[in-house]
């Protein structure tokens, strides 16, 4: 009988993504049907298990995966940033906006008609006024997430108490 020797390749981590684990991801987001990156991050940490650090559909897709896994997830608007709300696009008088903020793309904090505070983006400037948009830039879009699992570790007690990941060391 011939003896065979097995060589095992050591993995960086043998943990799988599960509740109360901190997951480190690399991700890119594009609009469905486009290769143009709308968002990209090389080092995102979140606490897995319904803490609000990731969309539920993304958490479900990541559940059980291990380091080096790569997946793609498509989110409909209602699963991501929501539908666009026309009531959040407003024309305001020029004098209501500070002069230094009357530039396309400027981010302002504003109060919605129902009293909530949220970021608004200047989308148009005319001699008479400024148009601001309180919708998230990705609202109303079918989003394609490309995700790669970079690391997994157990959450610390402090992270569990806080409900979010603190980063690399916890």
- Confidence label for 112 from pLDDT (cuts 50, 70 and 90): confident
Q: Give the N- to C-terminal CA distance of the chain in Å, as an integer.
A: 51
Tens digit of each residue's pLDDT (9 = 90 or more) over 43-60: 899 999 999 999 999 999
Question: Environment class of residue 88 by beta-carbon count within 10 Å: exposed (0-12), middle (13-18) or buried (19+)?
Answer: middle
Closest by CA to 57, choosing from 77, 42, 33, 74, is 74
Please compute the mean of the pLDDT values over residues 137-148 and round it to a whole number. Answer: 95
Class of 21-81+139-162 in CATH: alpha beta
For position 168, what pLDDT does the model report? 76
Q: Check whether 25 has a pLDDT greater than 90.
A: yes
Please compute the mean of the pLDDT values over residues 78-83 and round it to a whole number. Answer: 95
Fold assignment, 86-133: Thrombin, subunit H (2.40.10)
The residue ranges of every structural domain in the chain are 21-81+139-162, 86-133
Phi, psi (deg, nearest 5) at residue 35: -100, 0
Higher-confidence residue: 3 or 107?
Answer: 107
Higher-confidence residue: 93 or 14?
Answer: 93
Q: Which pTM does this prediction carry?
A: 0.77
């Amino acid at each position: 009988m011939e003896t065979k020797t097995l060589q095992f390749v050591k993995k960086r981590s043998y943990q799988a993504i599960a509740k109360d684990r901190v997951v480190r991801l690399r991700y890119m987001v594009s609009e469905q049907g486009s290769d143009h990156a709308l968002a990209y991050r090389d080092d995102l940490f979140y606490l897995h298990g319904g803490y609000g650090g990731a969309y539920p559909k993304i958490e479900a897709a990541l559940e059980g995966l291990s380091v080096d896994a790569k997946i793609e997830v498509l989110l409909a608007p209602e699963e991501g940033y929501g539908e666009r709300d026309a009531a959040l696009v407003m024309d305001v008088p020029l004098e209501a906006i500070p002069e230094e903020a009357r530039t396309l793309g400027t981010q302002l904090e504003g109060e919605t008609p129902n009293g909530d505070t949220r970021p608004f983006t200047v989308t148009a400037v005319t001699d008479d006024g400024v148009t601001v948009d309180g919708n998230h830039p990705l609202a109303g879009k079918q989003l394609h997430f490309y995700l790669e699992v970079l690391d997994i570790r157990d959450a610390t007690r402090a992270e569990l108490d806080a409900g979010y990941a603190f980063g690399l060391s916890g």
